[in-house]
Amino acid sequence: MRQIVCHRYKIKNIGLCRGADRLFSEVIKNGVTYMTSPNIDCTHAFTTRFGGVSKGIYGALNLGQSLGDDPNNVKENYNIICDVMGIFVNDIVKSSQVHGNCIRVVTKEDCGKLFCLDTPKADGLITNDKNVALIVYTADCVPILLCDSTKSVVCAVHAGWRGTAINIAQEAVQKMVGIFKCSPTDIKAAIGPCISVCCYETSKDVPDALRNTLGDEAESCFILQNDKYMVDLKKANYLMLKKAHIKDILVSDECTSCSNDKYWSHRKSNTNRGSQASIIVNH
């Protein structure tokens, strides 16, 4: 296994699950940088900090609306990212994220409310309506995009450690299968940039929560080091997707904490930050 080096630890990577010959790609267009996964067959993006107009701790492509940034700058950031992706701001649907495992089914009727403060609570969005763009927000938590091109169904998931521990990834797949009759073999998954095992230090509560869901398999998702646990949320979500019979899963090897110049990290910034977003569009 290769070694991951960051500012605090040098440990084995226990959760790198991406295909060695199928890497995420960095797209740079009109000054905007975002990441894409080769196995997601529709328009999508894992955004970075690069390319927006926000200032200070929010510089530059902050897409978080409730973090203290100038609302006009945030709106312009949405115009910028939508322009480079070739989508419309009014086609984006969001939810209020609460670190649960609720997957909300949305339709075209839910569009046009991106800047409304009162949105339904959910940590995942799913749709089969055409030209609907789903968005979730992260700054260390795990973003997961799911796509079934056969049934034209897409899903965006925000998985913090609590959502991971209560199996939001598997819940998303079950919704795609149960509501839209997707076959797990047709669903492709991309786990985007988030905090990695090298930087995610926790107490015993996180490993215990993962054990409750994954059983013995959870032991491969963390290691004990200096009386603390280094936890691999990427691998935990990978294993949960595998349990849901998803075969095509790519995992970003980027760490938001190690790459805090490129991504916001809630931990690295001591909560003073903007937010990147993961966006997927149904065509």
Single-letter amino acid, residue 270: N
Confirm whether 99 is domain-assigned.
no
State how far the Cα of 106 lies from the Cα of 179, in Å rounded to an integer. 12
Q: How far is the C-alpha of 243 from the C-alpha of 215, rounded, in Å?
A: 12
pLDDT value, residue 21 = 57
What total of structural domains would you count in the chain? 1
d(CA 195, CA 254): 8
The residues pairing with 121 across neighbouring beta strands, listed in sequence order, are: 96
224 domain residue, yes or no? yes
Overall size of the chain counted in residues: 283
Nearest Cα neighbor of 169 from 98, 243, 222 is 243
pLDDT of 209 reads 97
Whole-number Å distance between alpha carbons of 165 and 168: 8
State how far the alpha carbon of 197 is from the alpha carbons of 1, 194, 211, 276, in Å: 13, 10, 17, 20
* Residue 103 domain flag: no
User: What pLDDT is stored for residue 9 in this prediction?
Assistant: 39
pLDDT above 90 coverage of the chain, percent = 90
| Domain of residue 178, CATH code | 3.60.140.10
pLDDT for residue 22: 75
- pLDDT tens-digit map of 264-273: 999 999 889 9
**179 domain-assigned:** yes
Domain that holds residue 231: 3-93+108-122+130-281
154-173 pLDDT, tens digit each: 999 999 999 999 999 999 99
* Side-by-side strand order, sheet with 201-202: 201-202, 228-231, 222-225
> In whole angstroms, how large is the CA radius of gyration of the chain?
18
C-alpha torsion sign, points 115, 117, 119, 123: positive
- Looking at residue 218, what is its pLDDT? 97
Cα–Cα distance for residue pair 221/234, rounded to 1 Å: 8
- Considering the domain boundaries, does residue 233 fall inside one? yes
Residue 98 lies in a domain: no
Q: 228-259 burial string, b = 16+ CB within 10 Å, else e?
A: ebbbbbbbbbbbbbbebebebbbbbbbbbbbb
Those residues of the chain that have pLDDT short of 50 are 1-20
Is residue 170 one of the residues assigned to a domain?
yes
Strand ranges (E), the chain: 3-5, 10-12, 25-29, 32-36, 44-47, 92-93, 103-105, 124-127, 133-138, 142-148, 153-159, 188-191, 201-202, 222-225, 228-231, 248-251, 276-281
Tens of pLDDT, residues 165-218:
999 999 999 999 999 999 999 999 999 999 999 999 999 999 999 999 999 999
